[in-house]
Amino acid sequence: MRSPVLVLMLVVCWLFSFSAEAQEIKARVLDAQNKKPIQYANVIFAEHRGVVTNEEGFFSFNTSETPEVIKISSLGYEVLEIDPKSITNEVVFLVPASIELKEVFLSDKSLSPKEIMKKVREGITTNYDFNLSKKRIFFRQSDFNYVRKFGLHVDESTIEGIDQNLMDRISSEVPKVSDSYKEVLADLYGNYDSQKLRIIKAANLHNPQSTQTLTDLTDRLETLFKQNLKKNSYLKIRSGIVGVKVDAKELQEELEESREENQKKEKTAEEIAKEQIESQKNLQKRTAQKLNSVLGDMFWKEDNTFDLFDKLNRYKYTMDGYAYIDNATVYVINFEPRWRGDFKGKVYVNTADYGVHRLEFENVKPLKKFRLFGISALDDVYRGRMIFVKDENGKYQLSYLEREKGESVGIDRPLTIIEKNKYVPGRRKQNELDLDIDLRISQVQRLQLVVYDKEDLEPAQYENLQSPGDFIYEKFKVYNPEFWKGNNIIEPNAAIKQFTALGAE
């Protein structure tokens, strides 16, 4: 039986831990007039600390102490300062802001939209913070694959088991749409030119079956070839004017290796641990590369794919009026290609200092295209969004960054596979498969970066940072709402919440 003193100590400890436990505050931000969700609104809950709403207007954050006030701002709306305890039904409404013309006329109205864009470029070095800092970030990579067309037509086949029924089955069982997501909570050290990354926690919503059905069935096709090959045969594979020769012995050896691989015993705990370490290293490396890539694509960088400010003369600009954001009036400038330009979009420029509060762009034509011998490839998606907030020093800090890149690949070619054998009496040709292939596949990758808080960093601190350490990393086949509980992330949208890997129970 426990002593009363021990029981009392346990109760005190429990009460203390309960009071210090982080609590979650969440809500949805809607337009007060039309009740539509407001995307990417800034929600500031402490000095240098904030989150943004997702595509559906939701936000959440965790804090050990309930803030007295949270400040919510978004383009075209009045800034709202609200006690989080007064939020009812987890909904917050923002009121559209009305622009006072006298505020607008205080700025220089003789400038054309293009001249304003030049002012933006001239003010980059003074408007933005290029110093070293430590930032708490959340990074999400979303990958989408679409099979637009998957046609396999058998013109002739003398190989048992390889016929139009098999091809129709392959076509029907290939997933037409698949998605996967990687999410990383980390500290990012450095600036826009150089970074060091320390991952705290990461999740991989993995879809292993997205291509597994196709792999299984094409393996079956390959196995049928190998099993029907006669000794000393070889395959002549031709697609259009291109042909290759494959030795039957090599195919049989590959088949045996495949069987041995499948018959391997289950992995040991040591092998699993080793794979986990390797997965962490790979994720660390790939995430650092992705972050370096997106931060290297900031709008002021030269020789970027998005070349608006590098090639101002390639675009034409029109004034689309004025808007209100973070207690500031901004120009709303549309841009579109004039000469060799690839993008269209909007820029929201502060009327006082010509800093960019927000930038949205998308390509109007494929950035690259290739077509030869029935094979085509298009880089047909490149779009993005950048949102900045001003700090107490008047510097613009990155709050949210989004970039999407995508490509489409098509194959429209005949394929002929002939088995030949000079040691078998009669004709050298033993079997033949004539196949017409018509495939159209697209993939899009979206990268999202949210900056939650920031603190200055001295050069010596940056240089002395040690190598990244261990971190929590888990893979899921079904969305797990508990994994990120207690951490600040960008709220998952409906697609992520409903994520279930193909074949998962």
State the DSSP string of 439-469.
EEEEEEEEEEEEEEEEEE--HHHHHTPPPP-
Lowest mean pLDDT among 162-171, 349-358, 398-407: 162-171
- Spatial CB neighbours of 115, under 8 Å, sequence gap ≥ 6: none
Residue 446: CB atoms within 10 Å:
18
Burial class (CB in 10 A: 0-12, 13-18, 19+), 262: exposed
For the segment 1-59, what is each residue's pLDDT rounded down to a tens digit?
344 333 333 333 333 333 344 577 888 889 888 888 888 888 887 776 778 888 888 88
Residue 224 confidence (pLDDT) above 80 = no
Separation CA 277–CA 460 (nearest Å): 29
Least-confidence region, from 155-164, 377-386, 393-402: 155-164
Domain ranges in the chain are 4-98, 133-262+277-305+367-497
Whether residue 384 has pLDDT greater than 90: yes
Give this prediction's pTM.
0.79
Q: Which architecture, in CATH terms, is 4-98? A: Sandwich (2.60)
- Asked if residue 82 lies in contact with residue 32, where contact means CB atoms within 8 angstroms, the answer is no
**How far is it, in rounded angstroms, from Cα 398 to Cα 407?**
28
Q: Which H or E run includes 278?
A: helix 269-295
- Higher-pLDDT residue of 101 and 360 is 360
Q: Which range in 146-150, 351-355, 371-375 is most confidently predicted, on average pLDDT? A: 351-355
- How high is the mean pLDDT of the chain? 81
CA gap 45, 452 in Å, rounded: 10
- What is the DSSP secondary structure assignment for residue 37, as one 8-state letter? B
Q: According to the model, what pLDDT value does residue 170 have?
A: 78
Cα-Cα-Cα-Cα torsion 162, 164, 169, 172, nearest 10 degrees, comes to: 150
The encoded tokens of residue 272 equal 């699993």
Q: Return the top range by mean pLDDT from 235-239, 267-271, 359-363.
A: 359-363
* HSE value, Cβ hemisphere, 13 Å, CA-based, for 146: 9
Which H/E stretch holds residue 135? strand 133-157
CA separation for the pair 413, 436 (Å, rounded): 6
Percent pLDDT > 90 in the chain is 32
- Mean pLDDT of the region 420-426: 75
Q: Confidence band (pLDDT; 50, 70, 90) for 324? A: confident
Tokens coding 62: 């965790």
Q: What are phi and psi of 176, to 5 degrees?
A: -80, -25
Give residue-wise pLDDT tens across range 173-191: 777 888 889 999 999 999 9
Scanning the structure block, which residue is given the tokens 């792999």?
Answer: 215
405: enclosing H helix or E strand: strand 396-420
**CA–CA distance from 466 to each of 206, 209, 456, 462 (Å)?**
30, 38, 18, 9
% of the chain exceeding 70 in pLDDT = 82
**pLDDT higher than threshold 80 for residue 503:** no
Residues 6+ apart with CB under 8 A from 381: 363, 404, 405, 406, 407, 444
157 DSSP β-pair partners: 433
Unique residue bearing structure tokens 């929590």: 472
> According to the model, what pLDDT value does residue 216 have?
61
